[in-house]
Amino acid sequence: MKRISVYISSLLLSVALLTSCHKQLDRTPPNSLPSDNVYTSETGYLQVMAKVYASMALTGNQGPAGNGDVAGIDEGTSDFLRLFWKAQELSTDEAVVAWNDPGIQDFHNMNWSSSNAMTKGLYYRCTYIITLCNEFIRASNPATVASNGISGPATDNIKRMRAEARFVRAFSYWVLLDLYGKPGFTTENDPIGKFNPEQTTRTALFSYIETELKAIENDLSNARAADYGRADKAAAWSLLARMYLNAKVYIDTEKYTEAITYSKKVIDAGYSLLGDYRWLGLADNNISNPEFIWTLNYDGVKSKNYGGTTFLVNASVGGDMDKNVSGLGAWGGIRATRNLPDLFPDVNGNGDKRAQFAIGTQNIEINNISEFKDGLGVIKYRNKTRSGAFGQDPEKTFSDIDFPVFRLAEMYLIYAEAVKRGGAGGTDAQALIYLNALRARAQVTAAPLGFYTLDYIIDERARELYWEGFRRTDLIRFNRFVEGTYLWPWKGGVKSGTGVSAIRKIYPIPDSEIAANPKLTQNPGY
């Protein structure tokens, strides 16, 4: 099954939501399906669970746009992946954008403020997802399920869905932890209705996510046993591994041993690398793919959205590039700074098949960020199948490409870095086996043990994971994000690049949140 019944017929259904727990979400459109009509069967719970997942891949209840999930915000600035990608990639050496939408150039210029519409949109999308999860978790309490007249095997399935909702909530809180540090915090135990959420701390939030992920482990499906696109034990282990790798940044405590432990749990769960790296970003990347652990699922006919991988495909093509390369359209937006292609031996893919750049029509140097031809185009995401056929959308607008939130290659890289940083329970020799597996798939000669350094790992993470939403977090962990010791074109708004204030390691809490909730304080420097 590619997706949960394509999110229950594209999720063009209303979902029972009680009044929001967040002031900004008090503007959420009212539900038209009361909860007592939804939670009367396992099917009803599944429909609401599908909405929880779809809230990360769609923007509203009427595709491709309309009846947006979060009122008071332009629907175009409320898509999770599009906004997360911008925050994680446009602020780094991996990407620039030609457009001049309000606030979008702030990312690469690294001069965003608390009023930036896109950082606001991401914050609100995450809190909306958390609100959905809280409602489902509240309604799937065993006592509530029993009172709804549900018994037998259905209760076990609902219990598993409840664990999945807790996972999605934990993941959304991880996004807030990583990007915003100390958001407002709510759970299913908070009052329903208007109230001011308490503000958490980064340390407390880290501990909460860690505790939640461990608590739900036994209730999730076994690794590789869940329907495609649904979270299982391996998804929880993957998030823990990622968190532990970054724990020194988040809570000033090293947890590299734990990163080794949990990445190895995933590695040993039976996943394997997809045979050809270039298939990872294709329209049929859901088929016979043993590498993906948890994905955001897209369907060009049944779940249309101008964000997600539709954005990644269309925005990557423009200028004089061959429009057919994408399998979709050409919005002329995002491309790479030269720092990314310079990591490869050849931009044509000779020497490393992971290099997927548009050559011949683009300039590697960026003299003008607003000129799409300046900066190499990236063709990692193409709405075509392995056979070369176009995706499903006959109008060639919307993508079928699923986005891997977690995949095996990341776990290999986490293991290797955590070992090199001194974590216990792993070995350099085993790490090199994993790293050389990535090189072998890319048709790169195996490296000797002495080649394996932290500098190699940060570069290898870029070669393997570029444009998948990792780079900002990686550069911060390696002290290369705000510092003047590592530069890229137009970093900080200067053509040759410049260091910026350390406050840029974290995004500001939206000013509208600060104004609405007297319990919230702003991140330093904003």
Domain annotation covers residue 430: no
Whether 38 is in a domain gets the answer: yes
Confidence at residue 73, expressed as pLDDT on a 0 to 100 scale: 76
Residue 108 structure tokens: 């690469």
Q: What's 147's domain CATH number?
A: 1.25.40.390
Q: Is residue 506 part of a domain?
A: yes
Q: Read off the tokens for 112.
A: 């965003």
Please check whether residue 379 lies inside any domain of the structure: no
Q: CA–CA separation, 477 vs 84, rounded Å?
A: 18
- Bridge-based pairing of strands 334-335 and 96-97 is antiparallel
- Tracing tokens 């701390």 back to the chain, one arrives at 201
The DSSP symbol for 417 reads H
Distance set, CA 243 to CA 22, 56, 259, 456 (Å): 26, 20, 8, 21
Asked if the structure places residue 398 within a domain, the reply is: no
Classified as helix, coil or strand, 122 is helix
Task: For residue 64, say if its preceding peptide bond is cis, omega within 30 degrees of 0.
Answer: yes
CA atoms of 459 and 98, how far apart (whole Å): 25
Q: Which candidate, 461, 401, 155, places its Cα nearest to that of 278?
A: 401
Is there a domain that residue 127 lies in?
yes
DSSP-derived secondary structure for 232-301: -HHHHHHHHHHHHHTHHHHHS---HHHHHHHHHHHHTTT----S-GGGTTBTTTTTT-SSEEEEE--BTT
Tell how far CA 248 is from the center of its chain: 21
Is 114 within the bounds of a domain? yes
Strands (E), 62-197: 96-97, 184-185
Residue-by-residue pLDDT tens, the chain, 526 positions: 344 434 443 333 333 332 223 333 333 333 333 456 789 999 999 999 999 999 999 998 877 877 788 877 778 789 999 999 999 999 999 999 999 999 999 999 999 999 999 999 999 999 999 999 999 999 999 999 999 999 999 999 999 999 999 999 999 999 999 999 999 999 999 988 788 999 999 999 999 999 999 999 999 999 999 999 999 999 999 999 999 999 999 999 999 999 999 999 999 999 999 999 999 999 999 999 999 999 999 999 999 999 999 999 999 999 999 988 888 989 999 999 999 999 999 998 899 999 999 988 899 999 999 999 999 999 999 999 999 999 999 999 999 999 999 999 999 999 999 999 999 999 999 999 999 999 999 999 999 999 999 999 999 999 999 999 999 999 999 999 999 999 999 999 999 999 999 999 999 999 999 999 999 999 999 9
Q: Which domain holds residue 488?
A: 12-219+466-526
Q: What is the pLDDT of residue 77?
A: 80
Name the β-bridge partners of 376.
336
Provide the domain count of the chain: 1
Tokens of 339: 């720092």
List the structure tokens of 313.
Answer: 């495909």
